[in-house]
Amino acid sequence: MSKVQRAAILFLLLPTVAMVGMLGVSCDRPNPRARHKVLILGIDGMDYHITWDLIKKGKLPNFGKLAQDGGFAPLLSSIPAQSPVAWSNFITGKNPGGHAIFDFIHRDPKNMIPFLSISEAKSPTRFFSIFKYRIPLDSGEVNLLRRGKAFWQILEQAGIPSTIFKIPSNFPPADFAGESMSGMGTPDILGTYGTFSYYTDNPPDNAESFTGGAAFTVWVEGNEVRAELIGPKNLFVDEKPPPDSTCPFKVYVDPEHGAAKIEIMDEELVLAVGDWSEWVEVKFHMAPGVNTWGIVRFLLKEVRPDFKLYASPINIDPLRPAMPISTPDEYAKRLAQNVGPFYTQGMPQDTKALQYGVLTDDEYAQQSKLILEERKRIFRHEFDRWDEGLLFFYFCTLDLNQHTWWRATDRENPTWTNELEVKYGDFIEKLYVDLDKELGRVMDNLGPDDTLIVMSDHGFGPFNRKFNLNTWLLENGYLALLDPDGQDTVEYLYGVDWSRTRAYGLGINAVYLNLRGRETEGIVEESEAEGLIREIAAKLDEVTDPKTGKKPIRKAYISKDVFTGPFVNLAPDIIVGYRRGYRGSDDTALGRFPSKVFGDNTDTWSGDHCIDPYEVPGILLSNRKINPEMPRLYDLTTTVLKEYGIEPPRDMIGKPVW
């Protein structure tokens, strides 16, 4: 994998060295309003239209009761309706111009290298060598890139205690004396968004193309398999490049009974085919007295005729966190001691393993259920011990399952089949019903004066057709390649002729000008930038899909027209707001140039929301009456502060919804 690929796909974090200390600002003046309890359930991806339809059908009685007795409204997401952007709007009470998160992927205009937008990692720079080891003399660090103060930091300053569980766009956790657990953006122990391992004696033909996972060829010799888990790079060893750390394990296969025994560390796991293991603690030895710990789950897929064993991404061990995942550090440990090990990875469902066929539909569905049950167990523990202040708790299950199971409900999706609909057509609905039952338990145990808010960052829609933005820019003369005949080999914009390029796409929804003085090889003068931006936006608004006759873009937003705040100058020049059924392609996000502007989406990732926010409204329900017809995420932020009598800072742009 190239350096550019790693920069765009991985967080190159360094769990073997000391990381950022979590400093909190305590408040020593008690606030009498701290006894007032506010519960916020953040349900990622809960769609307004689906929720309302199921309420009308009587399938969500608790959501229906909350809507009738309190309030229910569509909640407008961010521009664009991407999770890191949307949750940052809610966290800060600002739009992207105020918090500087514009897309999953940003780019450095000085070198055009893309990077993930939530956090950055820096490695140690000075080492002392002794024998074969290097001892770092300075610490590596991980920095949160979201700007602006989080609402729970403002509550803390006012003496209101808060617990914030896994809110996205908060890795590493913002400085806070209260309890918080990092959410979306939290990597696995390799520093990636999730890298699975697949051990088999018959590797699949597509193994070389895996991203987000790796296949390892193993041999069954005398019913025994020897293998190893791959851990983080061992920076303590004085080698270039640094070697992988490893944790060996053995598997004893019992073909007659369709089972196997796994020996790893000091544990023995006996699994039948189709069984998932519980969490297993694993240790990676780095240097004398230095170890990095993680946790992993195994799935025994098959023992004959082929051997197939899946290992989940190795999560950061909450009992011995190798990276900063909570404030204070002890919070993650206390939680694990009370509820057991749990997924610390920000996006736990293994959508990549499903995409590559390493997990079947049945196996992925089983994993999704395990994750939801684990999350409900943690929520019940936190809810039952909560006695004052604010509790925010995040559920991820709807988002990732709607991404992957939309193909079972939408007959216009290229991968829909009748068999798939019969088996999984109600999978998403069952998740809504399951969350309704959890809401009922909450409502039964809230006090009469407690405030309940249920919200989502966006809704959901089909993703049937993909738009290759860079190919469109190329065909319309805004972008040029050094080798037009090598169009299909360009990746991460390497191969673009910047001397003839006026605009380029990167990320899911972003268009940038190649601006002189901003981009290293910029050619567009400041004096012509305004006209060029509006020209491109107007043309994008008129694009038509030749296959369907539809216009895939609802609106191309000009950033400086819709964003406010000190970081507007860092924003993409145009944000493309797609219509339902369409989305920017993965190729666009990674700076590639497919041969055609449009294509069918044949991936298991069949539902999406990274489109125009008016196409996918989220939900806002409360046991309080709601005034606006369609409040925005940052309106909810000011509402929470007002609930505690706190005047929102002047740079917050929302209005209270009560």
Considering the domain architecture, whether residues 46 and 112 belong to the same structural domain is answered as yes
Closest alpha carbon to 292 in 313, 263, 332, 323 = 323
Q: What is the pLDDT of residue 129?
A: 76
pLDDT at 58 over 50: yes
Residue 1 banded pLDDT, cuts 50, 70, 90: very low
The 10 Å Cβ neighbour count of residue 523 is: 15
Q: What is the pLDDT of residue 14?
A: 36
pLDDT at 552 over 80: yes
Q: Which residue has the higher pLDDT, 539 or 23?
A: 539
Considering the domain architecture, whether residues 487 and 430 belong to the same structural domain is answered as no
Q: What is the pLDDT of residue 76?
A: 97
Considering the domain architecture, whether residues 557 and 622 belong to the same structural domain is answered as no
Residue range(s) defining the domain that contains residue 531: 464-608
Exposed, middle or buried by CB within 10 Å (0-12, 13-18, 19+), for 205? exposed
Q: What is the pLDDT of residue 134?
A: 77
Burial 285-315 (b: 16+ CB within 10 A, else e): ebbeeeebbbbbbbbbbebeeebbbbbbbbb
Considering the domain architecture, whether residues 595 and 623 belong to the same structural domain is answered as no
pLDDT at 200 over 70: yes
Q: Which of 608, 634, 652 is the last residue of a domain?
A: 608
Max Cα–Cα distance, the chain, nearest Å: 76
Q: What is the pLDDT of residue 127?
A: 72
Give this prediction's pTM.
0.93
Q: What is the pLDDT of residue 30?
A: 62
Q: Is residue 7 assigned to a domain?
A: yes
What Rg do the C-alpha atoms of the chain give, in angstroms? 25
pLDDT at 146 over 50: yes
List Cα–Cα distances, 456 to 275, 497, 508, 620, in angstroms: 33, 42, 20, 7
Mean pLDDT of 225-246: 92
Q: Is residue 333 assigned to a domain?
A: no
Considering the domain architecture, whether residues 473 and 563 belong to the same structural domain is answered as yes
- Tens of pLDDT along 237-293? 888 888 999 999 999 999 999 999 999 999 999 999 999 999 999 999 998 888 999
Residue 411, token pair as written in the block: 């007959």
Q: Is residue 317 assigned to a domain?
A: no
Closest alpha carbon to 646 in 156, 38, 89, 155 = 155
Residue 398, token pair as written in the block: 């709807």
Q: Is residue 298 assigned to a domain?
A: no
Q: What is the pLDDT of residue 500?
A: 98
Q: Is residue 521 assigned to a domain?
A: yes
Q: What is the pLDDT of residue 423?
A: 97
**Which CATH number is 48's domain given?**
3.40.720.10
Considering the domain architecture, whether residues 490 and 564 belong to the same structural domain is answered as yes
Beta-bridge partner residues of 262: 251, 269
Q: What is the pLDDT of residue 289?
A: 87
Mean pLDDT of 603-611: 97
Q: What are phi and psi of 405, to 5 degrees?
A: -105, 0
Mean pLDDT of 390-413: 97
Q: Average pLDDT of the chain?
A: 92
Q: What is the pLDDT of residue 337?
A: 97
- Tens of pLDDT along 443-500? 999 999 999 999 999 999 999 999 999 999 999 999 999 999 999 899 889 999 999 9
> Which residues are CB-neighbours of 93 under 8 A, at least 6 positions away?
148, 151, 634, 637, 638, 641, 648, 649, 652, 653, 654
Q: What is the pLDDT of residue 593?
A: 95
Q: Is residue 34 assigned to a domain?
A: yes
Considering the domain architecture, whether residues 504 and 622 belong to the same structural domain is answered as no
Q: Is residue 345 assigned to a domain?
A: no
Considering the domain architecture, whether residues 80 and 167 belong to the same structural domain is answered as yes
Q: Where are the beta strands (DSSP E) in 222-322?
A: 224-233, 244-254, 259-264, 267-272, 280-287, 290-296, 298-302, 308-311, 315-316
Beta-bridge partner residues of 74: 619
Return the residue matching tokens 């897929």: 301
Q: Which residue has the higher pLDDT, 511 or 137?
A: 511
Q: Are strands 581-584 and 607-608 parallel, antiparallel or unpaired?
A: unpaired
Q: What is the pLDDT of residue 402?
A: 98
Considering the domain architecture, whether residues 413 and 512 belong to the same structural domain is answered as no
- Tens of pLDDT along 330-346? 999 999 999 999 999 99
Considering the domain architecture, whether residues 27 and 119 belong to the same structural domain is answered as yes
pLDDT at 296 over 60: yes
User: DSSP code of 153?
Assistant: H
Q: What is the pLDDT of residue 5?
A: 36
pLDDT at 7 over 60: no
Give the chain's domain count.
Answer: 2
Query: In this prediction, what percent of the chain has a pLDDT beyond 90?
Result: 85
Considering the domain architecture, whether residues 414 and 507 belong to the same structural domain is answered as no
Considering the domain architecture, whether residues 26 and 175 belong to the same structural domain is answered as yes
Q: Is residue 214 assigned to a domain?
A: no
